[in-house]
Amino acid sequence: MSAPVSSVPRHKVLVVDPIAPQALEGLRAAYEVTVRMQPSVAELVDLIAGMDAIVLRSGVKLPADVISAAPQLKVIARAGNGTDNIDLAAAEHAGVQVFNIPNVSSGAVAELALGLTYAVTRHIALGDRQIRGNLWKKSELAGMELVGKTMGIVGLGDIGSRLATLANGVGMRVVGSVSRHTPDREAAFARAGITLMTTDEVLRSADVVALTCPLNDHTRNLITAAELATMQTSSYLVNVSRGGVVDEGDLYDALVRGNIAGAAIDVLAVEREPSRLADLDNVVLTPHIGAMSVDSQRRIGTMLLEGLALGLAGQDAPTRIV
């Protein structure tokens, strides 16, 4: 005689951003899963109704009207760090638990930042494009060595601190800025080989300025024409934080005018839309892949499954935010 089939309904989970295959397999084994990659807001309103949980990364926004369209929603699982795409106040008001998975991908983002630095300062991406078009312009591709140069890091959290270690490792001098500058923090960073400065001082002194700060009310449009004008004309800007930290119109103008030598950008203010920056040879662009290493996504997937199981059981995920 066969065993009775359980009548307990399985929780419904909506996945709207790519996650590790192993994590998706684990979700499907435990829940009733709907996968719809990066739907429009109108489509998301229809999809989320009746869902117990939603899994997303940075590619989908969850404003208040979407959250209010899901009265059954219990958990918002951010498979990564930043939560600037989620209306946290609306989630808290609705009694929805929100958790993220911080710091797990910090090493991957820091490595990409250093890779982008090499790509733009040594014209690696431009040389690749030229060769694919059978253009041999070797004499025009002389680049800057990093050894002995200054890496300026705006935002010395986990990503910025890891980037500082990598930059020190290739022989760069490292300076940086933080939101709260205290004597104790200055001493601690000095022991790690980092000279703490104001952001203005970092911009003026660095050969490469790397943005690794979160996007919030204090950092939105942190880099505009005024800040770019203080940078050296031979310097480069690398952004692995969020697109909103930089005024991209001002950056375009600065690059065209030669106010700075180049830029490498992993995070655009508007994704999946054409950018004028793509027209410039002194710009390297990547599609927000800082956290997209196989290793970090596997680790994130494991923590995602653990946090979601707790949240749907009415318990707090270890990294609960609201």
**How wide is the angle at C-alpha 268 spanned by C-alphas 265 and 271, nearest 5°?**
135
Q: How many CA atoms lie within 13 A of 235 on its CB side?
A: 25
Residue 104: exposed, middle, or buried by beta-carbon count in 10 A (0-12, 13-18, 19+)?
A: buried
Task: Give me the phi and psi of 35, to 5 degrees please.
Answer: -115, 120
Question: 320 with 314: CB under 8 angstroms?
Answer: no
Q: Which residues are catalytic?
A: 242, 271, 288
Cα–Cα distance list, 266 to 114, 119, 189, 249, 318 (Å): 12, 12, 26, 16, 29
Residue 247: exposed, middle, or buried by beta-carbon count in 10 A (0-12, 13-18, 19+)?
A: buried
CA proximity to 286, closest of 55, 124, 101, 140: 124
DSSP state of 172: -
Locate tokens 């800007």: which residue? 237
